[in-house]
Amino acid sequence: MTKTTNQLTFECETGNYHTFCPISCVSWLYQKIEDSFFLVIGTKTCGYFLQNAMGVMIFAEPRYAMAELEEADISAQLNDYQELKRLCLQIKKDRSPGVIFWIGTCTTEIIKMDLEGIAPKLEAEIGIPIVVARANGLDYAFTQGEDTVLASMAQRCPRKEPKLSISKKQSLIQNSSEHAYNSTNYSIKKAITPLVIFGSLPNTVASQLTFELEKQGIHVRGWLPSSSYSELPLIQEGDYVVGINPFLSRTATTLMRRRKAKLISAPFPIGPDGTRAWIEKICNIFNVQPQGLIEREQSVWKSVESYLDLVRGKSVFFMGDNLLEISLARFLIRCGMIVYEIGVPYMDKRYQAAELALLQKTCQDMNTIIPRIVEKPDNYNQLERIHELKPDLVITGMAYANPLEARGTNTKWSVEFTFSQIHGFVNTQEILQLVTKPLLRNAIFNSPVPILYNTKN
């Protein structure tokens, strides 16, 4: 079953796999975009999923709601425009958001509700921007939901510099130069580079990455999304854009085709190897000679040495559900692990080209097998392969984690990688903590009296 070629191979199975519905992006995007309100136009099924998947968040009066379709909506006895207007006015009254996102679902697709057509009219009528994203399970998996939202937002980024915000911009420059004063390599130009980074990250992680670039003298113009809708970054023709997550291919396409931006194809800043490659690639584009990056990467590796001892030589199987798989596998191979299989919902070979190249190179450097990449996996077949290969760790969804543990297989819940801080040099340890937790814990269980914890039938 193990491959011996040194070329990456791609397989495609039946697509019968477990993943989260893409509307789950609401749960992190409403937190990121602080003046937003997300209206998911769908059925009870969507609502039930969100309510359960978001856990305790749901009780914190989140800025999201369902527009729950009833039988009369399905059979078109009610007028979509009037219904949406009624709900949006209610939202405007109760929450007065800066933007309302309409999340289209499977049902709106099937009944062909013209959300893109209705939104501009209603937007003009109620005076709040309405952004439409079709994050449905017919077309997308889990994190791709964010991709559909960001692709829609990309269209809303200003094309011209607004005149009034000069003072704001200056204060931004001052902010970033404050970092520069304190950094060791202050000397490089302070001018804002025509670079916009896309992908939603917690604010602290976003500023960490911004800061890494600033240390190289690259001052990022802005992020898509920023923490408020009113601060969407300027994107002009010929500007550069770079992604921080592997699942943002639609956003990348939109930025290139509709906004005429130039995409920097780089590996993603996950793990110190990825982060270094990401920064190097950006520096390369702006003709900057990266300073101290290699040392920086090495010192990060050194600081996590104790974790590396735990993972080295251990094998991993990615069942695949959130599209972070290629980058994580690449990082884990660099850590000395053996990856048997990378299941992935969807593989955009162009958008992930640099990441795939780095994966291949990493396998060669580490002199390890090239994992099989399985797009649209079939969970049933995967479970048979897992049974056969007996990997040390399976990274999988919650539907399979407990049953696999009961059969003596170490598992890590894949969704945690989506919700944890895993980007940049600073968060290397966080990824390794996630990966090593099941190994550490189960080592404890197996040492003194394994029979106590053996639940295999």
Partner 1 sequence: MKLAYWMYAGPAHIGTLRIASSFNNVHAIMHAPLGDDYFNVMRSMLERERDFTPVTASIVDRHVLSRGSQEKVVHSIIKKDKEEKPNLVVLTPTCTSSILQEDLQNFAYRASLETEADVLLADVNHYRVNELQASDRTLDQIVRFYLDKSKKKNILNDTKTLNPSVNIIGVVGLGFHNYHDLSELKRIFADLNININLVIPENASVHSLNNLPRAWFNCVPYREVGILTAEYLKKEFDMPFVNITPMGLTQITSFIREVQNILSNLGKHVDYEAYIDTQTRFISQSAWFSRSIDCQNLTGKKAVVFGDLTHSTAIARILHSEMGIRVAWVGTYCKYDVEWFKRQVSDISEQIVISENHAVIAELIKKTDPAVIFGTQMERHIGKKLNIPCGVISSPVHIQNFPLSYRPFLGYEGTNQIADLVYNSFTLGMEDHLLDLFGGHDIVNADEINQQSSVTWSPQALLELTKIPGFVRKKVKKNTEAFANQQTISVITVETMYSAKEKLQS
417-436 residues near partner 1, rule: CB under 8 A: 425-426, 429
Annotation-wise, does 88 bind a ligand? Answer: no
Residue 300: Cβ-neighbour burial (10 angstroms; 0-12, 13-18, 19+): buried
In the bound complex, what is the minimum distance in angstroms from residue 156's beta carbon to partner 1? 24
User: In this chain, which of 3, 92, 95, 179 binds partner 1, going by CB under 8 A?
Assistant: 179
Residue 188 to residue 415: CA distance in whole angstroms: 40
List CB contacts of 24: < 8 A, sequence separation 6 or more: 49, 50, 53, 54, 142, 145
In the bound complex, what is the minimum distance in angstroms from residue 148's beta carbon to partner 1? 14
312-331 residues near partner 1, rule: CB under 8 A: none
Residue 67 to residue 38: CA distance in whole angstroms: 10
Residue 291 touching partner 1 (CB under 8 A) = no
User: In this chain, which of 304, 335, 339, 393 binds partner 1, going by CB under 8 A?
Assistant: 304
Phi/psi-derived region of residue 55, left when phi > 0, alpha when psi is between -120 and 50, beta in every other case: left
- What residues form DSSP beta bridges with 10? 373
Residue 315 to residue 322: CA distance in whole angstroms: 20
- Cβ nearer to partner 1, comparing 322 with 352: 322
Q: Count residues binding partner 1 (CB under 8 A).
A: 79
User: In this chain, which of 96, 185, 402, 446 binds partner 1, going by CB under 8 A?
Assistant: 402
In the bound complex, what is the minimum distance in angstroms from residue 397's beta carbon to partner 1? 7
User: In this chain, which of 2, 6, 9, 16 binds partner 1, going by CB under 8 A?
Assistant: 16
Choose the stretch contacting partner 1; rule: CB under 8 A; options: 30-38, 79-87, 283-291, 349-357.
Answer: 79-87
In the bound complex, what is the minimum distance in angstroms from residue 279's beta carbon to partner 1? 15
In the bound complex, what is the minimum distance in angstroms from residue 6's beta carbon to partner 1? 33
Question: Residue 58 CA to chain centroid, in angstroms?
Answer: 21
107-136 residues near partner 1, rule: CB under 8 A: 107, 109-111, 136
39-78 residues near partner 1, rule: CB under 8 A: 41, 43-45, 47-49, 51-53, 55, 58-59, 62, 64-71, 73-74, 78
Annotation-wise, does 21 bind a ligand? Answer: yes
SS3 of 427, please?
Answer: coil
- Cβ nearer to partner 1, comparing 294 with 353: 294
- Cβ nearer to partner 1, comparing 114 with 139: 139
In the bound complex, what is the minimum distance in angstroms from residue 304's beta carbon to partner 1? 7
In the bound complex, what is the minimum distance in angstroms from residue 439's beta carbon to partner 1? 18
Is the distance from CB of 260 to CB of 242 less than 8 angstroms? Answer: no
Is the distance from CB of 409 to CB of 257 less than 8 angstroms? Answer: no
340-399 residues near partner 1, rule: CB under 8 A: 380, 383, 397-399
196-255 residues near partner 1, rule: CB under 8 A: 203-204, 207-208, 211
Q: In the numeric block, which tokens belong to residue 52? A: 């359960």
Residue 302: Cβ-neighbour burial (10 angstroms; 0-12, 13-18, 19+): exposed
SS3 of 233, please?
Answer: coil
150-169 residues near partner 1, rule: CB under 8 A: none
Q: How many CA atoms lie within 13 A of 422 on its CB side?
A: 25
The CA distances from residue 98 to 85, 304, 332, 347, 419, in Å, are 16, 42, 41, 34, 25
- Cβ nearer to partner 1, comparing 194 with 211: 211
Phi/psi-derived region of residue 424, left when phi > 0, alpha when psi is between -120 and 50, beta in every other case: left
Is the distance from CB of 225 to CB of 204 less than 8 angstroms? Answer: no
| H-state helical runs in 216-324 | 249-257, 271-285, 293-303, 305-311
List CB contacts of 35: < 8 A, sequence separation 6 or more: 97, 98, 99, 228, 229, 230
- Cβ nearer to partner 1, comparing 91 with 150: 91
Residue 87 touching partner 1 (CB under 8 A) = yes
Number of H helices, E strands in the chain: 20, 14
- Cβ nearer to partner 1, comparing 362 with 428: 428
Residue 25 touching partner 1 (CB under 8 A) = no
Question: Crossing angle for the helix pair 379-389 and 398-406, nearest 10 degrees?
Answer: 30
In the bound complex, what is the minimum distance in angstroms from residue 59's beta carbon to partner 1? 4
Choose the stretch contacting partner 1; rule: CB under 8 A; options: 173-181, 193-201, 276-284, 358-366.
Answer: 173-181
User: In this chain, which of 104, 137, 267, 290 binds partner 1, going by CB under 8 A?
Assistant: 137
Annotation-wise, does 46 bind a ligand? Answer: yes
User: In this chain, which of 5, 77, 167, 182 binds partner 1, going by CB under 8 A?
Assistant: 182
Annotated binding-site ranges: 21, 46, 106
Annotated binding-site ranges for [4Fe-4S] cluster: 21, 46, 106
